Structure 1
């Protein structure tokens, strides 16, 4: 089959590589220009570079405009395959090929539609995450499902580890989906819209620690925001600090939320929600990084006690 690829960042590049490695012909690669903007600069392996290495025509654009649609029409694809495309695609485009347009989304749809689904899945306490190949329609990640693959989320997994693990599923999912289309054996499963959840784009504000969360939630939050993502941060004595490593306390503590109480297991314990009842576990902060980029152990840095705040 003739395939047009729409993609960006490492997700788009791995998808293009999977298409190149398949038995199908990639006739056009559409991608966004390189960007230094926040999350777009993370996992920024170039789709354009890979396409040019293999002699595939490349179209750079921010959006699927009239020129883009014209180029795709002239490429005469049997199917369009999309992964990590940041802007809206009109029906005129995604309905153009005989097999329509396949979109890869790194969640188990219909849950975690929208943005940064792997990070949100870990933060939310899910036991698994995955990759879904679905048919593009007028909604955001709402089309009928063709391929769905899942992996467990372990008790010490970081957001970075899960993202990398999810990317490893791309080749197999792409090859399975295209084989089903070509052979005529594709089985499309409508999404249950009552189970749909949507998550917005992440920004710097979304990495701010909320000390009203439980220690269990905050420990996952710290693990989710691992390098190269913006780290979980808070303020201590007027200084912004990043929390790099943390765990849930063994003992239960009482006091005021955000108060650095005591040392436990090589870290400093911070009281959480309903601390006045003395029934909940605290967050043990093992390692932090200051605004100057210097890392400290929690025991060393919080030796004076005090409070962690949101400003």
Structure 2
């Protein structure tokens, strides 16, 4: 089959590599120009570079504009394969090939449509995540499902570990989807729209710790925001502090939300929700980083006690 690839960042590059490794012909690679955006720069392996190494024509564009549509039409693809494409695609484009357009999304659709699905899945306490290959339609991540691969979310997994594990699913999912199309054995499963959840793009505000959350949720939150992602943060004595490592306390505590109470097991315990009842686990912070880039032991850094707050004021 003749394939046009739409993709960006490491997800797009791994998908293009899977297409190159297949028995099919990649006739055009469409990708975005390099970006200074903080999130787009995290996993920034180049689709353009890989395509040029293999002599594949490249089209750089921010959007699927008229020029893009014309180039794709002249490439005469049997299918378009998309992964990590940031802008809207018109029906004229995704319906153009005889097999339509396959989109890869790193969640178990219909859950976690939208952005940063792996991080949100970990933060939300899901027991598994995965990769879905679905048919593109008029809405975001809502088309019929062709392939779905699953992986467990372990009790100590970080967001970065899960993202990398999810990327390793790409070659197998691509191969399975293309084989189903070519052989005529594709079985499409409509998504249950009532089960759909949508998550927005993450911003700096989304990394700020909310001390009304349960310690179990906060421990996952810290693990989800692992390097190279913007870390979970709070403010202590007027200074922004990143929380690099934490765990749930063994003992139960009372007090006030965000209060540094005591040291436990190599860290400083910060109280959580409904603290006046004294029945909740605290978050034991074991490692932090200050604005100057220096890392500190949690127990030592918070030895003066006090409060972690929402702002520097």
Which residue in 2 is equivalent to 1:25? 25
Q: For residue 224 of structure 1, report the CA deviation from its aligned partner.
A: 0.1
SS at 2:40 equivalent: helix
Which residue in 2 is equivalent to 1:107? 107
Which residue in 1 is equivalent to 2:118? 118
The gaps in structure 1 that reach 5 residues or longer are none
Q: For residue 219 of structure 1, report the CA deviation from its aligned partner.
A: 0.1
Which residue in 2 is equivalent to 1:224? 224
Distance across 2 between alignment mates of 1:26 and 1:189: 27
Which residue in 2 is equivalent to 1:295? 295
Q: For residue 38 of structure 1, report the CA deviation from its aligned partner.
A: 1.4
Which residue in 1 is equivalent to 2:166? 166
Distance across 2 between alignment mates of 1:119 and 1:304: 33
Q: 1:80 aligned to 2:70?
A: no
- CA deviations on 1:179-208 (whole Å, 9 max, x unpaired) are 000000000000001100000000011000
Which residue in 2 is equivalent to 1:184? 184
Q: For residue 50 of structure 1, report the CA deviation from its aligned partner.
A: 0.1
Which residue in 2 is equivalent to 1:205? 205
- CA deviations on 1:255-307 (whole Å, 9 max, x unpaired) are 00100000000000000000111000000000000000010011110010000
Distance across 2 between alignment mates of 1:36 and 1:253: 44
The gaps in structure 2 that reach 5 residues or longer are none
Which residue in 1 is equivalent to 2:92? 92
Q: Aligned ranges for residues 135-146 of structure 1 at < 5 Å?
A: 135-146=135-146
Which residue in 1 is equivalent to 2:278? 278
Q: For residue 36 of structure 1, report the CA deviation from its aligned partner.
A: 1.3
Distance across 2 between alignment mates of 1:266 and 1:207: 24
- CA deviations on 1:11-70 (whole Å, 9 max, x unpaired) are 000000000000000000000000010110010000000000000000000000000000
- CA deviations on 1:217-236 (whole Å, 9 max, x unpaired) are 00000000000000000000
Output the TM-score relative to the length of structure 1: 1.00
SS at 1:186 equivalent: coil
Which residue in 2 is equivalent to 1:6? 6
SS at 1:134 equivalent: strand
Which residue in 2 is equivalent to 1:240? 240
TM superposition outliers: structure 1 runs of 4+ over 2 Å: none
SS at 1:39 equivalent: coil
Which residue in 2 is equivalent to 1:307? 307
Which residue in 1 is equivalent to 2:34? 34
| Aligned length, in residue pairs | 311
- CA deviations on 1:108-162 (whole Å, 9 max, x unpaired) are 0000000000000000000000000000000100000000000000000000000
SS at 2:230 equivalent: coil
SS at 2:300 equivalent: helix
Aligned CA RMSD, in angstroms, stands at 0.3
